[in-house]
């Protein structure tokens, strides 16, 4: 509880919510620093041009990706996931919480992104590709006019094998960085925190990735990775806490989503608001996507981050204005959650500050809740997500029940029935079947004990 006094000095008015946060109750927090897009964007260190540049780079790599990851061939090497309506789940939510959800309910299935089965297949893979391109251009092995499928050759793999890549991860980022780097020929080391699952470590080791395990949490794994990389000039460290490249790789999702919404004939404009609910760990994934969406839809999109009640690091950083200067441990929370990827005690300061003018709010969700929603999504829609990926699912209910101030303030109450809610389903496809069955069983048990107390 080192920092609690400092917190009190910062935001007296927020103390009731802070106390709830400390007692691990589920809360919805509305961001008082949300601005009109027009003024918010003037404070941003990144622009639409940066996102477009990332988009172009991914297009250059598409022929290579299609060649080395055949599952991406149908999409010509573009790593993208489906957007689906989930009407049966919507019905369940409405009945279970006695709360109508006005507007459409959709699931963005990043759980089914090719190559690494999670949201990290966006930012993580993008950053590795960008680094590889820089090296190859520098050494005049490649021009940006080339067909990048030439990278799938012994010549390039030998070249990249002189370089190494390192990353600290709770698991999913390690999968993305590890799989992509190893495929290109890099020496790659993943520093895994204690909560990382065994199957993820095994899978990476099978792909010739060095996995180093730590008995501490994510922040420590990152610190160790950074330290080791610092001493080696041929080693590139993927810095999940500060990387602009990761952030931009995620932001590309927005223009892809726009196309998918158009294909589903869902309009987003001043009469048709869009609400997006994104599970948040250190912040890069949800931050990048929210940033990309704000660039496209400006004040017509409303982004909310979702975090576990035991790891609400971004909420705490934003609420107190302390960003990465405070951790959930500082307010006495244990940062223990089954939500892989969300067990982060200290948020990215870069993401927190970048997203501050754009984020509508942030809420917390208990692990029990994640499991019961996981089970219901299987029963209603036949879709299997990992627990963390369910954090967004309760968003529309929370907003309708606890966010009426927000809806009124932004003139949204009347528009809700013409709007759309997108739950960002951030992972799940790579989870082994027996583990998925355990998740489902846990959800089932929790549902039963709730019904028969
Ligand atoms: C990493 C991850 C997130 C959150 O992304 P951050 O960039 O860490 O905020 C959400 N869901 C899953 C499944 C993840 O692996």
Residues of the chain with CATH 3.40.50.1100: 4-116+250-451, 120-246
Q: Supply the residue whose CA is at minimum distance from atom 14 of ligand 1.
A: 341
CA 277 to ligand 1 center in whole angstroms: 13
Distance CA 167, CA 152 (A): 23
Alpha helices (H) in 266-394, listed in sequence order:
284-297, 313-320, 349-355, 367-381
Alpha helices for 168-252 (secondary structure H): 172-184, 198-206, 218-230, 244-251
Q: Ligand 1, residues 222, 250, 285, 374: which to mutate, most atoms within 8 A of Cβ?
A: 285
Q: Are 346 and 327 in contact (CB under 8 A)?
A: yes
What letter does residue 269 receive in the DSSP assignment?
B
May I ask the CATH class of domain 120-246?
alpha beta
Given a cut of 50, the residues of the chain with pLDDT beneath it are 1, 453
In whole angstroms, give the CA distance from residue 438 to residue 168.
27
CB within 8 Å of 368: residues ≥ 6 apart: 446
Burial state string for 11-32 with b = 16 or more CB within 10 A and e = fewer than 16: eeebeebbeebbebebbbbbbe
- Ligand 1 centroid to residue 289 C-alpha, Å: 11
Residue minimizing CA distance to atom 10 of ligand 1: 279
Which secondary structure element, helix H or strand E, spans residue 167, and what is its range? strand 164-169
Query: For ligand 1, which residues put their CB under 6 angstroms from it?
Result: 118-120, 172, 279-286, 340-342, 386, 388-389, 426-427
Q: What distance in angstroms lies between residue 268's CA and the mean position of ligand 1's atoms?
A: 26
Encoded tokens for 258:
């726009």
Residues 6+ apart with CB under 8 A from 242: 348, 349, 350
Alpha-carbon distance of 179 to 116, in angstroms, equals 8
Give burial (CB, 10 Å; 0-12/13-18/19+) of 180. buried
pLDDT at 408: 97
- Give the SS3 label for residue 279: strand
Distance between CA 374 and CA 378 in Å, rounded?
7
Closest Cα to atom 15, ligand 1: which residue? 341
Contact criterion met (CB below 8 Å) for 383 and 425:
yes
Consecutive H or E run containing 364: strand 361-365
Q: For the chain, give the longest Cα–Cα distance.
A: 68
Which residue in 335, 58, 315, 314 sits closest to 193, CA to CA? 335
What does the pLDDT read at residue 394? 98
What is the per-residue pLDDT for 196? 84
Per residue in 102-120, pLDDT (tens digit) is 999 999 999 999 999 999 9
Spacing, Cα 145 to ligand 1 middle (Å): 34
pLDDT digits (tens, 9 = 90+) for 307-355: 999 999 999 999 999 999 999 999 999 999 999 889 999 999 999 999 9
325 CA to centre of own chain: 21
Give residue 453's pLDDT: 47
The answer to whether 243 and 223 have CB atoms below 8 angstroms apart is: no
Quick one: residue 388, left, alpha or beta (phi over 0 = left, psi -120 to 50 = alpha)? Answer: alpha
| 4-116+250-451 carries CATH number 1.10.220.110 | no
Q: Which of 192, 251, 427, 429 to mutate to test the pocket of ligand 1 (most atoms within 8 A of CB)?
A: 427
Name the DSSP class of 272.
B
């Amino acid at each position: 509880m080192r920092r609690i006094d400092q917190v009190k000095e910062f935001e007296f008015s927020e103390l009731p919510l802070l106390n709830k946060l400390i007692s691990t109750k589920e809360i919805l927090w509305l961001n008082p620093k949300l601005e009109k897009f027009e003024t918010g964007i003037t404070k941003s260190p990144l622009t639409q041009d940066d996102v477009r540049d990332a988009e172009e780079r991914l297009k250059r790599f598409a022929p290579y990706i299609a060649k080395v990851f055949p599952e991406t061939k149908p999409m010509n090497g573009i790593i993208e996931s489906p957007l689906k309506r989930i009407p049966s789940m919507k019905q369940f939510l409405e009945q279970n919480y006695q709360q109508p959800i006005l507007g459409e309910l959709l699931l963005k299935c990043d759980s089914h992104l090719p190559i690494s089965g999670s949201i990290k297949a966006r930012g993580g893979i993008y950053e590795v590709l960008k680094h590889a391109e820089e090296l190859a251009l520098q050494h005049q092995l490649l021009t940006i006019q080339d067909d990048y499928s030439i990278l799938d050759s012994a010549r390039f793999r030998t070249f990249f094998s002189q370089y190494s890549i390192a990353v600290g991860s709770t698991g999913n980022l390690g999968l993305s960085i590890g799989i992509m780097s190893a495929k290109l020929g890099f020496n790659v080391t993943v520093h895994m925190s204690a909560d990382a699952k065994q199957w993820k470590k095994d899978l990476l080791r099978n792909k010739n990735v060095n996995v180093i395990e730590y008995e501490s949490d994510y922040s420590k794994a990152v610190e160790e990775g950074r330290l080791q990389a610092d001493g080696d000039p041929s080693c590139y460290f993927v810095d999940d806490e500060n990387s602009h490249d990761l952030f931009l790789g995620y932001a590309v999702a927005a223009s892809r989503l726009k196309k998918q919404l158009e294909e589903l004939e869902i309009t987003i404009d001043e009469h048709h608001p869009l609400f997006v609910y994104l599970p948040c760990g250190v912040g890069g994934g949800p931050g990048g996507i929210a940033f990309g969406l704000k660039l496209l839809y400006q004040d017509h999109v409303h982004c909310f981050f979702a975090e576990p009640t035991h790891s609400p690091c971004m909420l705490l950083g934003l609420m107190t204005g302390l960003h990465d200067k405070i951790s959930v441990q500082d307010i006495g929370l244990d940062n223990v959650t089954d939500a892989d990827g969300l067990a982060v005690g200290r948020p990215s300061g870069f993401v927190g500050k970048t997203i501050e003018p754009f984020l509508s709010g942030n809420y917390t969700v208990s692990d029990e809740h994640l499991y019961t929603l996981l089970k219901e999504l299987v029963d209603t829609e036949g879709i299997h997500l990992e627990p963390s990926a369910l954090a967004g699912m309760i968003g529309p209910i929370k907003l309708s029940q606890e966010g009426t101030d927000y809806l009124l303030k932004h003139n949204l109450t009347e528009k809700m029935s013409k709007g759309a809610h997108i739950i960002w389903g951030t992972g799940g496809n790579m989870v082994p079947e027996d583990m998925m069955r355990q998740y489902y069983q846990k959800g089932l048990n929790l549902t039963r004990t709730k019904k028969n107390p």
